[in-house]
Structure 1
Amino acid sequence: MAVVAVGCLYAYLGHGEKHGIAIVGDLKKGLNPSSIHYLNFDRRYLPATIRAGVVTGLISMVEGIAIGRSFAIIKNEQIDGNKEMIAYGFMNIIGSLTSCYLTTGPFSKTAVNVNSGCKTPMPNVVQGFCMMLTLLFLAPIFSYTPLVALAAIIMSAMLGLINYEEMYHLYKVDKFDFAICMAAFFGVSFGSMDIGLLLSVGLSLLRALLYVARPAACKLGRLPNTSLYRDTEQYPGTMSLEGILVLQLGSPVYFANCSYIRERILRYINEEDAVTEYRTEHILLDLSGVASIDMSGIHTFIELIRVLKGKHIKLGIVNPRIEVLEKMTLAKFVDVLGKQAFYLSIEEAIQSCRFTMDTSTKEEAWGSSKTEDVV
């Protein structure tokens, strides 16, 4: 208030508007008039209204939730996004009937409230009452308020919100998160709140798409003297299995990543055959981490069966989730692969594969000895 009072007094006495000092300008006393009579549901205007409403609504939703969560993290509190949206919607519906423009929880006002020690929504009621009195009686006085004074108030509140230690922590832990943070910071600083939000949300969506398109997959090996199977890169001491390749998929299988998964599996087979003297005869896919699968993913697995059959490799599925198994059953994938190729655990699948390999070896040996006897 001291900054505003001094700024108003200086601009008024020195005629700041004549010397290039930007001021708020003419402010008329009184409250906004009712705008109910302007409501028009003519279908000629509905398409433009709906488009503008959807865009502004989405921006307001993202901005409001982002602001609420950022301050909730600072105060170690939880917010309910649904309640936030209900509050914004109710506020804008009532405001639209009194000539108000679209609004959300503004970042500057929220920052001022937080730095002032506000704990409940009651300060908003007090501020609204004071604003009403100002509009009714004191509006012309504030017409001389320099814009630089308002900017100084906002900047002083903003500087206390910059957490340099957290930014450095993000840089050390995850460079991509740091890039998102910097994009939001510079977008808001040199552009606007909308630009900062669009940049940060856009980069976050890009990262999510990259994770979906390039899902995690790893080769599993058995830990010595145990029946546990873990990632061979994370646990270098794991033991490889002769003729059996165990792979684990860790994300849903969709049309966006099914081709990559197929290529990745075939690459694992080629790498395994290149570094070991045993030919891969069985490949087991641990699907315990696959939450869902679509028809493109199922068709990819069917195509994979055909490719593996040409290489004389048998495919086994380990511990699929109920949603995945139901969809595979409805799509007849279980009939194509065979029920005997589905296993509850990796150890059970390994034992079955070894039994099949031992049986095949004995049959080949018996066939060779029989041929020698005939000769």
Structure 2
Amino acid sequence: MELERLDATPAARSERSKWLLSSPDPPSAWRQLFTSVKKTVLPPAETKQPQPSRALFLLHGLFPILRWGKTYKLAKFKSDLLAGLTLASLCIPQSIGYANLAKLDPQYGLYTSVVPPLIYAVMGSSREIAIGPVAVVSLLLSAMVSRLVDPSEDPSAYRRVVFTVTFFAGTFQALFGLFRLGFLVDFLSHAAIIGFMGGAAIVIGLQQLKGLLGITHFTSKTDVVSVLSAVVEALRHQWNPVNFVLGCSFLIFILVARFIGQKKRKLFWVPAMAPLLSVILSTLIVYLSKGDSHGIKIVKHFKGGLNPSSLHELEFGGPHLGPSAKIGFICALIALTEAIAVGRSFASIKGYHLDGNKEMVAIGFMNIVGSLTSCYTATGSFSRTAVNYSAGCETVISNIVMAITVLICLLFFTKLFYYTPLAILASIILSALPGLIDLNEAYKIWKVDKLDFLVCLGAFFGVLFGSVEIGLLVAVAISFAKVIMSSIKPSIEIVGRIPGTDLFCNTLQYPVAIKIHGFLIARINSGTLCFANASFIRERILRSVKEECNLKESTKGRLYVLVLDMTNVTNIDSSGIHALEELHQNITAQGIE
């Protein structure tokens, strides 16, 4: 009241007007962008440092390798060298297989394992993550870009769209990090990712039947019904049993090697080397037996050399610009979700913090540069990161070693892959798929939250029987519906006092909690009391009051006071205030305070 009286005087009003007139203008859009970037790359504690120090910290924020590179020692390099070579032995065959999954020539998978890892090594913060092509993103690209351009009819146009999509994906990722928009990734909940990955793994596995069976003509659709129909049709006419036997033999070999590696941790290199050894042995078998003349499908032409520039292949005009941006946005979200999940998992094991916004900037820039150097969308691979960690990597130098090894392969050894059977590439991809299907995590989601499990199932069946985008759309839609339902129908708890303490807990959850005689204490479990949930909360409280009054009448007691515990409520709008006023009128009419 005293403050209102002082504000009412002419002198106070004049003084307040001066304050308003002399207040600074709101910051411009460029200033806000600069502030956001500064918060991303510069720790808050360093913003008060002198200009040279801030510039140094800015460089360290953008390029973490400058910070820890000063103290890098030879002992660490030995570990990183071993890890990088082990990683390359797994990366080379997987990259060729994933390029085939993305419907690109095999060299583009190796290109993607050279430039993006080098850029990430300079800008990234994770010590263990292994950068390169992955199965899910490869499936996304092939499934969505194939609807714009048929890769079998016009491979160069298809390749141009893929590079443009990669550029957009990198741009979106970098902008997410610069504007601190990491929360966008959270729209894909953990349950949605589990379901999406599981569905994608099955779709990828079914598509590998093309290479495993030696099928020439296959459907471009990704839903399970279309793929199975194509397989059944092919089995009647064009499949080759030699391809199937060869592919299954080496698939069993790779799986046995993985089993050995899981049983004996010291033999981690066995499953890492198995795919490359499979490629070498199968290539020798086909070459010596002239298997290609007996119907075995082989890679054939494999262009080597340094990554060529693809700047002139980017298309920023024409009918494919809008769809390319949309596909790039989806790929950006999926790639970021996988990379940050992988990075944070291993960072928590090693006991250090990973800044999600900085990771987005690093991953974004590596994909932008990758799109200019004939690479498609790269991200962190869980299987290769696990191998990198098991091999004892100390820093991202292992990525540099891997990239250099792949580059040497591109320069000198690509001709050796001419006779590599496509069935072996299919078996390598199939061997990596079990890691994408996490049944234990799905069971945990079922036990914890049935609605979350519904999100998981929606993503799973959406990918399986619809398409990749439908699976994502269903998962996001169910997640939003869940959030809206929990917002408009929050729980109302009746609480009582735990004997011998000052704690008040839910009487249903804690039967020992005692209600205070004549009092009803209702706790609102919602952060917001607004137009969406105000009526529901009022009706639930009135129902609880009625039930309590009926109980009191049966025990010859009376309810005198209703207490609302609103400690969880942080925001109330006009509808919420109106609902509280109506509630007060209703209970007052019943003689309750």
**What TM-score bracket applies, with the shorter chain setting the length?**
0.5 to 0.7
1:270-299 deviations in Å (ceiling 9; x for gaps): 211121124544321111122334444334
Matched residue type, 1:270 = K
| Structure 2 equivalent of residue 5 of structure 1 | 280
- Note if 1:270 corresponds to 2:529: no
Question: Which letter does structure 2 place at the counterpart of 1:28?
Answer: K
What secondary structure does 1:105 align onto? strand
Aligned pair in 2 of structure 1 residues 41, 173: CA closer, same or farther (>3 Å)? closer
Report the AA paired with residue 131 of structure 1. Answer: V
Choose from 403, 407, 411 the match for 1:132. 407
- Cα displacement (A) at 1:246: 0.9
Match among 259, 263, 266 for residue 535 of structure 2: 259
Give 1:261-300 correspondences, 5 Å limit: 261-277=537-553, 278-300=557-579
- Structure 2 CA distance for partners of 1:96 and 1:173, relative to 1, 3 Å: closer
Deviates more, 1:92-101 or 1:143-152: 143-152
**Equivalents in 2 of 1:63, 1:192: separation in Å?**
19
Structure 1 residues 20 and 66: CA distance shift in structure 2, 3 A: farther
Change (3 A) 1:234 1:52: closer
Distance 1:101 1:137 in 2: 22
- Comparing 241-250 and 86-95, the one that deviates more: 241-250
User: Which has the higher mean CA deviation after the structures are superposed, 169-178 or 10-19?
Assistant: 169-178
Residues 230/117 of structure 1: CA separation in 2 closer, same or farther (3 Å cut): same
- How many residues align structurally? 314
Q: Is contact 1:213–1:260 with CA below 8 Å preserved after alignment?
A: yes
Could you tell me which of 385, 388, 391 is aligned with 1:113? 388
Question: Which of these residues, 355, 370, 373, is aligned with residue 98 of structure 1?
Answer: 373
Please tell me the residue identity of whatever aligns with 1:289. N
**Mean Cα deviation higher: 89-98 or 45-54:** 45-54
**In structure 1, C-alpha distance between the alignment counterparts of 2:401 and 2:278, rounded to whole Å:** 20
Matched, 1:89 2:364: yes
Q: Matched residue of 1:33: which SS?
A: coil
2:580 paired residue among 301, 304, 315: 301
Which has more helix, going by share of residues?
Answer: 2
Write the deviation string for residues 179-219 of structure 1: whole angstroms up to 9, x where unpaired: 76777788899999988877776665555444334323211
Q: Residue 496 of structure 2 aligns with which residue?
A: 221
Amino acid aligned to 2:411: L
- Separation in structure 2 between the aligned mates of residue 77 and residue 182 of structure 1, nearest angstrom: 34
> Distance in 1 between the 2:320 and 2:427 partners?
41
Identify if the C-alpha distance between structure 1 residues 175 and 294 changes in structure 2 by more than 3 Å, giving closer, same or farther: same
After alignment, is 262-271 or 292-301 more displaced? 292-301
Task: Point out the more displaced range, 14-23 or 116-125.
Answer: 14-23
Aligned to 2:336: 61
Runs (5+) with no aligned partner, structure 2: 1-275
Measured after TM superposition, the shift of residue 243 of structure 1 is 3.8
The structural deviation recorded for 1:69 is 3.9
| Structure 2 counterpart SS, 1:276 | helix
Contact 1:111 1:158 in 2 (8 A): no
Percentage of identical aligned residues: 46
Cα distance in 2, alignment partners of residues 231 and 92 from structure 1: 51
- Write out aligned runs for 1:291-330 (5 A): 291-314=570-593
TM-score (norm 2): 0.44
The one-letter code matched in structure 2 to 1:101 is Y
Alpha-carbon displacement from aligned partner over 1:106-130 (angstroms, at most 9, x marks no partner): 3444344345444432222122112
Bigger-Rg structure (1/2) = 1
Tell me: CA distance 1:158–1:267, structure 2 relative to 1, closer, same or farther (3 Å): same
Structure 1 residue 41 displacement after superposition: 5.9
Q: Tell me which of the two structures has the higher relative contact order, counting C-alpha pairs closer than 8 angstroms and 6 or more residues apart.
A: 2
Pairwise CA distance, 1:89: 0.8
Matches of 1:162 and 1:192 in 2, distance apart? 18
Q: TM-score, normalised by structure 1?
A: 0.66
Corresponding letter in the other structure for 2:365: F
Q: Is the contact between residue 112 and residue 157 of structure 1 (CA under 8 Å) also seen in structure 2?
A: no
- C-alpha change, 1:199 and 1:148, in structure 2 (3 Å) is farther
